[in-house]
Chains A and B, each alone.
Chain A
């Protein structure tokens, strides 16, 4: 899609002010004093740091929060009153989403609308307009291009901005995005050819920078992982792993949750769902005590399996956007770039008939 709209820094500030004034929440990356960033509500563009530190938690936390209440109850006598969460949320705007984070939401939409339509996820998705900002690449743990995305991907975004001198080029990626641009046309102007050329160049540069980190064939990885469930390779990954949830919880595509009831008083309580991880040793424990994934070798294999074989074979997408957060977060040094490279190498050797 060719970008043909331009918004200056001042106009963007004006757009944010107008959206905020209309009562719509605006969420953007905000960098704290210690250098860490979160996607947080802002009242003005000045509060945001676009393309600063990679926010943590990822954008997922705005659609599937670390914990949320599914229902509440009060029992009195033989009656029970039930409280329910809203079935729709007020419209909100995300400004400056990383393309890896925006794409992740789109990828997870598949499982959230599979055998059960997740009302809360969908209601939050329906309420949210996402404006992504093309990214220059962060460091050598980024690999979005290797999983079919890219630092300038518009997947999962309604509008994609690309930074140029004094402002941004804007292109819409969805009908909602087109409507957003139309509704706010007063803040946009036509893009100069020089700006378009600058944007194309920066996008290409970002893509090559990320491509240099990892270049694999996810289809043959899917094939190899599916065919090698019992391979010795998995025994080399489990020992180092602590079995914590750091990788799953920072991941924008991991979506497993556990449901637990909490009693808040006598006869009153809430049911919550909270983030869970297949790396936990009790994730697959049965009531009998048997655990089909009884050690970290099996559990770590599951992580790779789910993301690179099971999910793509079910839904057509790798359950990974190459953001690299898992690599940076892992205290034990597990490296998904290295793991994918190794598997791809094995898969290539098999393809070529080498042992």
Chain B
């Protein structure tokens, strides 16, 4: 089931941010990589020492910046490198998952998992299942675009759009890799060139 990557049915590829603990899940993800397991490439991993370090703010920040889905993963209970970090995290997850759901953030966009250092296959399954699920839900522009809404009873024109990436001039060497734009804004990047990052 989770072993197979699903075929995309639309052009939309979800962007998933994963907050994982260093000792278990990060190592497990590394194992999945070195074992050459096939998995969707939509996930960007942020490594933390422990799930106990995870603050709901991290998840919110990812959603603000346009993440469509989130994975939060760490050591199994009783296996935490710092003894009890994941127990504290579990309590916090219980509260913020339900509160986010109450405020309208679909819980199907967020996966919580325990993945140990030896569970490369489980990491692959978590990734593939999350990507499939979030792809079906569609993009989560709604959260990121909340910033565009004026407040009621006030001036309507309050925003200034981000300038578009200018057309590259092909004759110069200044065609550096352009910064990727945030979701919702202009999405056509300038062609990359050889040469260092600016």
Contacts and interface: CB of A to CB of B under 8 A. Distances in A.
B10 interface: no
A76 B178 contact: yes
Given A83-B163, A267-B179, A69 B154 contact: no
Interface in B137-190: 147, 150-166, 174-176, 178-182, 185, 190
B34 interface: no
A71 interface: yes
B65 interface: yes
A86 B157 contact: yes
A63 interface: yes
A74 to B, nearest CB: 5
Nearest to A264: B182
Contacts of B174: 77-79
* Chain A binding surface SS class: strand
Nearest to A25: B156
Nearest to B189: A76
A65 B149 CA distance: 12
B interface, how many residues as a size bin?
20 to 34
B196 to A, nearest CB: 11
Contact of A266 (B151, B166, B179): B179
Interface string A54-69: 0111000111011111
A258 B84 CA distance: 42
B181 A268 contact: yes
A79 to B, nearest CB: 8
B151 A61 contact: yes
Interface in A64-103: 65-79, 81-86, 89
A353 interface: no
B185 A69 contact: no
A40 B176 contact: no
A112 to B, nearest CB: 15
A77 B155 contact: no
Nearest to B184: A264
Nearest to B166: A81
Nearest to A71: B160
19 contacts: A40-B153, A56-B153, A61-B154, A61-B155, A62-B155, A65-B150, A65-B158, A71-B160, A72-B163, A73-B163, A76-B166, A78-B176, A78-B198, A81-B166, A124-B155, A264-B162, A268-B179, A270-B160, A270-B162
Interface of A: 25, 38-41, 55-57, 61-63, 65-79, 81-86, 89, 124, 264-270
The 3 closest A-B CB pairs, nearest first, are: A38-B153, A267-B179, A265-B182
